[in-house]
Structures are given as structure tokens and as C-alpha cells.
Amino acid sequence: MSSRPAFRAQREIMVRSVLLHGLRVPPAPDLSTNTPEQALSWRRWVLELAGIPQVAAAVRHASPDLAREIDGLAEEPVDVEEVRRLTMSLLSYVLRLSYRVTPFGLFAGIAEGRFGPEAEARWGTGHQLLTRAEGEWLAAVVQQLEAVPEVRRRLRITASNVLRVRGERLVLPWRPRALDATGTAVHEVTVRRTAAVEDVVRMTAVPLPYREVVDKLAADHPELGVPGCEELLDLLISRRILLTSLQPSSTDIDALGHVVRELGDPSAMPSSSSASLVAALREIHTQVDSLNHQHPQDPTAPERHRIAVSERMRQIVDRPAPLAVDVKLDADITVPRAVAWEAEAAASVLARVTPEPHGALAWNRYRDRFYRRYGEEALVPLMDLLDPHTGLGLPEDYHGTVRAPYQDTGRRDRLLVAAAQRAVAAGQDLVLDENLIEQLAGHRPAAAADAPPHVELTASVYAPSTKALNDGEFTLDVRRVSRGWGHFSGGRFAALLARQESPSDLLGLLARRPTTVHGALPVQLAFPALLPQAIHITHTPRLIAPLISLSEYREADSGVFSPDDLAVIWHQDRLHLVSLSRRQVLEAAIPHPLQIECQTPGVARFLDEMQRGQSSRLIGSIGDSAAWDWGAARHLAAKPRVRAGRSILSPATWRLDHAGLPGPDAGVDDWEEAFAALREHWRLPRHVHLTHWDVRLRLDLQDPSHRALLRTRLERFRSLGQLTLTEAEPADAYGWCDGRPHEIVTYLSSKAPRRPAPPVRHAPLVERDQAHLPGASPYVSAKLYCQPQDRHALLIDHLPTLVADLPRSIWWISSRDTEEPPHTSLTIRLSDPSHTGDAVTTLGAWAAHLLDTGVMNDVVFAPYRPHTGLWGTRRTLRAAEEVWATDSAVVAYQHAHLHTLAPPPVLAAANIVAVVTGIYQSTANGMHWLSAQPKPPTTGRLSPALLKQARTIADPDDDWCGLRRTPAGADLVEGPWSARHTALGEHRAALAGVRRPNVDTVLHALLAAHLRLVREPADGIAWRLARAVALAATRPRSKPMP
């Protein structure tokens, strides 16, 4: 890993570790045989564990049902199968309690740490617990309260800010699923757009009291009456078209407190039942809050209090675990800076060898579609863009869209499969040295300019002692890479840190999230999850003042951006989000770990992925945040450890679905014999992690009870996802931190220079009615589906016939060879719009003949959508259209005289020079512009013969005398080129009247369009020839190297 790192580690880290490290538990009993005698020993073990207060509390919180079954075990007769099941479940929890560091209930927690000069690890016992109402319970409570009429009448309401109008319907693109819903489907909600519905939405654009809306609506629509108005509002509330103030926003970390505050004084409720319910919730909130301020001498007192509060909560809404608990560990951890440098290097290697170095394929395709439809430097309203009825819709691989085609990673896959198989056969690691990294990266530069602006890297630090760690003798076991800062450390963890007495350095870091674009404003995304139970996971304090709030109830706040204030712009091969009111680029991010593909609304996912989706991918595919992407090699039964420097990027892994172990009907001895043979064949270590999705259990394969647990899990999950074994850490791995299993979350920012901001201040806004439809405008546009090589016949044999039948019009063509299927776009502008019908008829008859004769295989009439961000409107657009028309005539003439003009690359070079000098209306200025363009990255020398021809043919001196000497050159210069030169001059004059015209951008676009038409690469031989001619003209004494 000799290349310069692409990332910089921040000082702050988050530490994740087990809560009950060092707790002595009795060894697990033998589970290999099912006998009544064995069942008695199992029961004794279960009851002994249940007698340990810390274990009992952790299990009871994680699985109240299991705890209740254990409570009744002593009185119940021994049922062998039932006791075995309880024993297996409890053994799993004990293993999680001892080794799994993912924060969960009373099993594991978090602490803040730092990188510093030397290692230091202090672990105390004064842990802080944050207890809150669990998400599913709270969602059910809010749903129950909103269904009570007298409660609704006391609330404030507002319209969702993601509503869309579609014909005669009002549409809500998405809403949270029902609490009892199964699956991950997303359904839109629609209602008839009556006058009353429109008035309600208009009135509630800002929050208003329910009763006030009813009164205003009844006054405007007396035919409804008050009951009818209430019925309408209640319908819209039930459909989530209207949102009530009872719904806590996702930046409220005390959601139950919000509900209690909104309900107000119980005595104000008109009925005793509602008053009792409100009073009970107020009492529960007080009790929950008191749990967070207890420091009892008796360690079992909080558990008794939690049990009592939970029972009281179940009386209102019966849910298994109505309380959620998170733990801030009493720990002070410093990790040497050398570990930070290793994390930087590891992330840089991952960025270099990723299969998607320039962004996700779905995002690249979406960006291309955006450019084809809207062009560059134009602002497209976000909600118009994402609505498939008015724009492009969401990218591929989103809910409701098709799958993107597979990325072509065949070369990388072949290299990895071969390297992995060699390493496994030799019993060695797969070591990523510079040679292999370069092979996997191909011609990609090591700078990783497309690296995401920020990521979190989660890893464990292995060192047998503090001295060894300080001496640099450590291993960094990289586990996962996040979507960005806050993914692994926001949500409930940020809420936990926000409740501590002293300011959190980590929250301060998250508030300073880096951006990709210079001057961009980082913003926090706030929205309700599709899974309403996810309140506990998603509710995050307001880390950054600016918010984008989607379909939430919020009072007026100048720091909150609504979707109607957002637009998307294409600039320098990248899409950007822009605030229309501020005319500033925004970079949005989701600050919590909610599953993004299935549980996050598509709009929120789109905004979160806008920058990250166009950057190199450091995370896995759907549902996979593993650091290392094996590609096709992931299907191998055995994969080696992957190392880079002192980092493990992927542990040695074995897939149990490829193991060929006996099924559930096999006897114990047969299964044990087969597994022993498998251990020997795969060379399995003694200690492994059994992994199913993100749940890991550390097993000792010499322990019969652990092998029995492995078999049980294998039979249970055989059809529910992949089970794998991965190598566990060495026995002394955590020696430097008192033997405590842990992970550290490192915050990395990209070292790449920030990109220039798009010119948004004067960028035009794309309106829905901007498309020119055939028959309703002076334009007729059609897509002519023929192969690129057939365009020659189209231009010289058929287009002249069509043009002759369309007097007083101009026409131009553009190449769409890179689209699927490839086609040529033909646009006609008529001088008299009343003749559009005749033009459509003429074009249709002409196209029918071409279809009959096999010149084309299809034709489609399409709207003409000018790219106003680049070409402008009115005068500048019409001037640009004249240039396109004259350039198309040039291409048609050249096609008709292919054999009497210069070779295609030389002729294309001459056209480049002609267009540049034409836009500048000055040979000297044009040649200086062309000579100042950067040298193309293309390698290899130009053909001396072509270069010699170009210096003659593409030289504009003496009115193109070199070109004129070719048989058809004089007519070309005096006819089509002269017309184009005049049009270019008029275009430049039109640009002069535009505020801050970008002549460079326009000129590059004109040249790119011409080169596409003549099928020459934008930075290929023709461009190099033209640049060489310009260099020779502007620096006559030098010998330019093109």
C-alpha cells in the first residue's frame, strides 16, 4: 500500500464493545443427545444462568417471551424438545453477550474515543442507560390516539409536502406501511381532487388547528356541513395526506414526550376514557424519564423498575418489548495514530479496487438519461423529475423500477477467482500488493478522485499488549464501510450522546460533515421510515441546522427545506441538488442506519445517494455493508483471508450451503463424522464466527454444545439466507484493551479537491410545458431508428426528398448512437406553425417509405425538448438551432462527397477549426483558444501523413486554400461552411446579450455534437490534429507534440 492515501482520518472515533465483559457463566451442557437425563442438566444450566441478574436482565429485555418461558421452567414437567430449544436460545444469547459488539439493549454499548500518541484503555462500571418508548409500541399508541375524534379535534394538522397532482387525482407517492403489514411493497395513495380537497391542502400548507380548518372549510363549502368537513379531514388524516401534530418528527429524540406534550392536560379531555388514556401516557413518560436518572445501590432495582413500566405500557398497547434501551459505556479509549493511518490506507485500497470506481451503474445510467432529456446547467424541479409521469422517475434498482444491467466486471472477477483459489489451495492469505492492486484497478489512477466525500470504517484492532500496539505491531480487521458519516453512529447513538451532560466531540464532528462541491451546504434528511416501528432507529437529534424534511409534521422553520424548493442540475458530468430559494448546492445525508433499499422512501434514498451514488462504491450490493467486494468469487465455497499491509480486508470465509453436510434426519454420529471431515478438508480453525446476515456468534468448534448449536442454526436457516463461517480473532487479539472485544468506527474524509460548484444563480428552471409537441408547436421531431452505418444513405438519398417537400423550414439531425437502440434524431422547425399538421403528414409518408424499403426499422414522433440550460431561450435558442441546421447541412454535403474531400479524421479536424474560428469570428482568437485546450490523455503518436494533410487541409489561412484544392472543397467552403460561419456569428452575437454567457461551454457542446455526427471520438485523432494545427499557427517556431 505504497500509494498516497485517498482519505484522511479524523481524531474522533466511536468505540463499540460488550457491556458484561468478564462475567462468569457456567459452561454449556452437552447438547449432542436428547435424553430426559440430559434435559435435566439443561434445565439446571438454564435456571443457573437465569439466576445471574445481569444475564436475566439482558435476556428479558431482548426477548420477553423467552424470559417468561424460562420463568416457568422450574414448575413445568421436563419436555426434552422444549428444554433443548430454550437451552439453544439461551446459549445463543450468552455468546452474543460475551462477544458480539453490535450495540443492542443490555448486551453492548458505545463510547467516544480518539486517536492519540499512545494507546490507553480504561473500562469502568458507571455505564449510562437511555431508556425510551420502543418504536412499534409508540407507533401503535399514536395510531390509536389519532383514531379518537375528540383527540383529533385538539391537534394541529398540515398537508404532506410530497403531494402531487395527477390529472383529477391528488397523489401521495408513498406512506408508512401498516403496523401489521408484511413484505416491503410501497403503495401510493390517491384521492379525487375535488374543490374541497384542494382547499384543504391549500389551507394546511402551514399547520393550522383542526377545528379552524373545519370552520373555514364549512364556510367555503356549506353543502358539506361541519360533519362532512370533519369526515373529509379524517379521511385525509387516515391516508397520511394530512399529518397531525401528534406525529413526532424524526429529529425529536423523546418521541413519547412529544406525544404527551401535544395531548396536553388530561382534565381538558371531554370524556373520562380519553382523559384516563392521556393521564396514563403522562405517567408512563414520567416513569420512563425517571429510569434515565437513577443511580441505585441495588443493581437489580432498574430491572425491576423496567419490568413494572413495561407491564404498565402493555396495558395500553400490548407489545412484547415496549421499552428500548441503549447504553453509553463508561470507557476512555485512545488508539495510536498509526491505526488511523492504517485505516486511511485500507480505505484507499478499497477505493482503488472497487468494481464501480466511478459510481453505481444505475446512477451513471440515470445521469446519462438526465443529460439526454434536460441537458446541462438547467434546474429541474425535484418532484417533477422523480415523478415518472412528468420526469424520469427514480433510478433503476429502486422500489418500483427495473433492475439495472449487471456491471461488466469480468476481468476483475477472473483475477479474484484465480487468486482466491490459489491462496486457498496453498493455505495462504490473498495479499494485495501493489502489483495485484494495479491489476484489479486496471488503468484507474491511484488518486481516487471519485472517492466519496466521507465514510465510516468499522474495524477491530488486534494487539497482544499496549506496548505492541504502540510499537506498531497490530492488525486492523476491517469489518464494514458505511454510506457516510452518521450511518453507523447516528440515530439512537447520536440520541444517546445528545443526552449526556458534557458536549459530545463526536456529535460536533458529525455536524461538520465534508462536502463534494465547493460551497455546498451539508443538510440532514428527516423523514418517517416506511417501517413505522423504526422510530427508535431513525430519530436523530438535529446534528446540522439545515434540514430537508419529507412528509413530516413541522411548524414553520426557516432552516427547513421543502421538496418544492429543491431542483437537480447537471454540471461537469455530475448531478447536483440545489435549493431554488438560496441558489446553493445542497448535499443531503441520512444520519442513521435505516435499511435504505426497502425501508427508506425513494425520494429520501435518492437525495442521500445523489453524491455517493456518483462516487466510487466502497460498500457492497443491496443489504451488504461488508468492506471487501468479492464479485463473482463470493460464490466460492472457501475464500482466503484478504490482506493489505497490516489490514485484514476480508476474513477467511466458508459457505455452509456448499458444505454438503447431512440433513436433519441424519444421526448425531453421522453428522459429527461428516463435520470433522469438513473441518479437516477446509482446515477450519478452532474458533470461528457463525454469521447469518449481520448476526455473528463466536463458536469453539471443539465444544460439543457449540457444534450442536451450529447444526441447529444450519437446519433452521438453510432456506432463509446464507450461513457462513469466518475465522475468529486470535486468543490474545484484545490484550491491549483488557481482553475486551470491540470495534472502532473511524471517520474518513476524502482528500480529493472539492469540485467546482455549478453556476446556479442564473440557471433557468425547466418547466413542465417546455416540451414542444408535434402538432402543437412549430416543431416536429422524430426518432429514426437505423444503424449508425446507414446514416450515410439517410443523408444523401432520402433527407433531400423530405426537405424538398417542407419549404420554409429548417431541419437538423443529432446522433443518438450511444442510446439503446441507436437512432438518429430529426427535428424540423417550421416558419408557420399552422403548417405543422401538413409537416407531420409529409414526414409520416416519408418515414413509411423508408420502413417499407428497409432503410429504417422504426420511427417515433417525440416531443422536442431544447436544453435551455446550455442553449438558452428565445433569441439564443433560435440562433443555436440555425447553427445545428447549417452544421447538419455540412455533414450531409460531406457524406455526399466522401471520396472527393480529405480523409474523415482530417476533414473532422478542419471542421473543428472552422467551428472555433466561426464562433469567435476571428481566426487568430479561435486558434489561440484551440491551442490553449489541454492535451488529450490519448497515448501514441499521430500518423505523420495525417498530420501533414491536416496542416494543409485544416489551415484556415487564405480562406482555406488547402481545402479548396480538393475536388469538392471549394463548393463546401463557399456553400455549407459559409452558411454555418454566418450562423455561428449570429449565435455569438446572441450570446453577447445573455447575462454571463459561457462561450467555452457552448463551443465544446457544438464541437461534441459535430464529432458525434461524423462518428469521431471527442478527444480522438481529429481533435489532436486540430490542436496540432492550432499549435503550429500560434507557436510557429516550436515543434508541438500533439
Cα–Cα nearest to 461, from 629, 337, 582: 337
159 phi and psi angles, rounded to 5 deg = -80, 145
Question: Alpha helices, DSSP H only, in 936-977?
Answer: 944-953, 957-964, 969-972
Burial group, residue 27, by CB count within 10 angstroms (0-12, 13-18, 19+): exposed
DSSP designation for 104 = B
- pLDDT at position 340 is 99
Q: Is residue 896 over pLDDT 70?
A: yes
Structural domain includes residue 555: no
| pTM for this model (two decimals) | 0.94
Query: d(Cα 110, Cα 835) in Å, to the nearest integer?
Result: 73
360 touches 615 (CB < 8 A) = no
d(CA 133, CA 280): 14
Domain of residue 180 covers 133-326
What pLDDT sits at residue 1017?
A: 85
Query: By the 8 A CB rule, do 938 and 1020 touch?
Result: yes
Other CB atoms within a 10 A radius of the CB of residue 8 amount to 14
pLDDT tens for each residue of 48-83: 999 999 999 999 999 999 999 999 998 888 899 999
Residue 55: the pLDDT is: 95
3-class secondary structure, 940: coil
Examine residue 480 and state whether it is found in any structural domain, yes or no: no
* pLDDT for the residue 299: 56
pLDDT recorded at residue 757 = 96
Grid coordinates representing 216 are: 373555514
Cβ–Cβ under 8 Å, residues 313 and 324 = no
270: cis peptide before it, omega within 30°? Answer: no
Last residue within a domain, chosen from 300, 326, 352: 326
pLDDT tens for each residue of 758-787: 999 999 999 987 899 988 899 999 999 988
Tell me the C-alpha distance between 312 and 78, whole Å: 32
Q: Average model confidence (pLDDT) for the chain? A: 93
Range of lowest pLDDT (445-454, 510-519, 732-741) = 445-454
Q: Are strands 128-133 and 647-650 parallel, antiparallel or unpaired?
A: unpaired
Tell me the three state secondary structure of residue 473. coil
Dist CA 830 CA 780 (whole Å): 8
How far is the C-alpha of 547 from the C-alpha of 560, rounded, in Å? 5
Mean of pLDDT values over 923-927: 94
Q: Is residue 967 part of a domain?
A: yes
Least confident of 381-390, 438-447, 789-798, 844-853: 438-447
Strands 7-18 and 742-750: antiparallel
Residue closest to 356 by CA, chosen among 392, 414, 406: 406
Are 422 and 633 in contact by the 8 Å Cβ rule? The answer is no
Closest CA to 184 of 603, 694, 599: 599
Is the Cα dihedral 926, 931, 937, 943 positive or negative?
positive
Give me the amino acid identity at 211: R
More confident residue, 339 or 941: 339
Q: Is residue 258 part of a domain?
A: yes
Give me the helix-helix angle, 53-62 and 64-71, nearest 10°: 130
Quickly state the pLDDT bin for 736 (edges 50, 70, 90): very high
Residue 445, pLDDT score: 64
DSSP states of 591-610 = -S---TTTSS-HHHHHHHHH
CA 530 to chain CA centroid, nearest Å: 16
Enter the C-alpha cell of residue 185: 411493497
pLDDT above 70 covers a percentage of the chain that reads 97
- Determine the average pLDDT of the residues in 860-887: 94
Mean pLDDT lowest for which of 413-422, 693-702, 878-887?
693-702
Tell me the CA end-to-end span of the chain in Å, nearest whole number: 35
Task: For residue 146, give Cα distances in angstroms to 259, 314, 417, 426.
Answer: 11, 19, 57, 65
Contact indicator for 1028, 955 with CB cutoff of 8 Å: no
The domain boundary, picked from 309, 326, 343, lies at: 326
Question: What is d(CA 984, CA 971) in angstroms, rounded to the nearest whole number?
Answer: 19
**Number of compact structural domains in the chain:** 2
**pLDDT confidence bin for 789, thresholds 50/70/90:** confident
Note the pLDDT of residue 1037.
Answer: 55
pLDDT grade for 401, boundaries at 50, 70 and 90: very high
pLDDT digits (tens, 9 = 90+) for 409-432: 889 999 999 999 999 999 999 999
Do 154 and 274 contact (CB within 8 A), yes or no?
A: no
- The cell for 129 is 442507560
Per-residue model confidence as pLDDT tens digits over 576-635: 999 999 999 999 999 999 999 999 999 999 999 999 999 999 876 655 668 999 999 999
Comparing CA positions, the residue from 832, 850, 823, 816 lying closest to residue 779 is 832
- Cα dihedral angle (194, 200, 202, 207), rounded to 10 degrees? -160
1040 pLDDT higher than 90: no
**Is pLDDT at 375 greater than 90 in this prediction?**
yes
In a domain, 50, yes or no: no
Burial class from Cβ neighbours inside 10 Å (0-12, 13-18, 19+) for residue 281 reads: buried
Lowest mean pLDDT among 314-318, 649-653, 731-735, 933-937: 933-937
Query: If pLDDT is split at 50, 70 and 90, which confidence band does 446 have?
Result: low
For residue 90, what pLDDT band results from cuts at 50, 70 and 90?
very high
Contact present, 976 and 812 (Cβ < 8 Å): no
DSSP code string of 639-664: E--EEETTEEEE--EEEGGGS----T
Nearest CA to 695 out of 108, 14, 27 is that of: 108
C-alpha count within 13 angstroms, C-beta hemisphere, residue 649: 28
Of 494, 550, 501, 500, which is closest to residue 523 (Cα–Cα)? 550
pLDDT tens-digit profile of 239-284?
Answer: 999 999 999 999 999 999 999 999 999 988 888 899 999 999 999 9
Question: What is the helix (H) or strand (E) element at residue 1028, kind and residue range?
Answer: helix 1021-1034
Domain C-terminal end among 294, 326, 358: 326
Q: What is the pLDDT of residue 792?
A: 84
Taking a C-beta distance cutoff of 8 angstroms, is the pair 245, 151 a contact? no
Q: Which among 92, 95, 96, 44 is positioned nearest to 70, based on CA atoms?
A: 44
Question: 384 in a domain, yes or no?
Answer: no
- Considering the domain boundaries, does residue 357 fall inside one? no
Q: Rounded to whole angstroms, how far apart are CA atoms 799 and 780?
A: 15
pLDDT over 90 (residue 109): yes
Instruction: Tell me which DSSP letter residue 686 carries.
Output: S
Q: Is residue 143 part of a domain?
A: yes
- Check if the beta carbon of residue 879 is closer than 8 Å to that of residue 987: yes
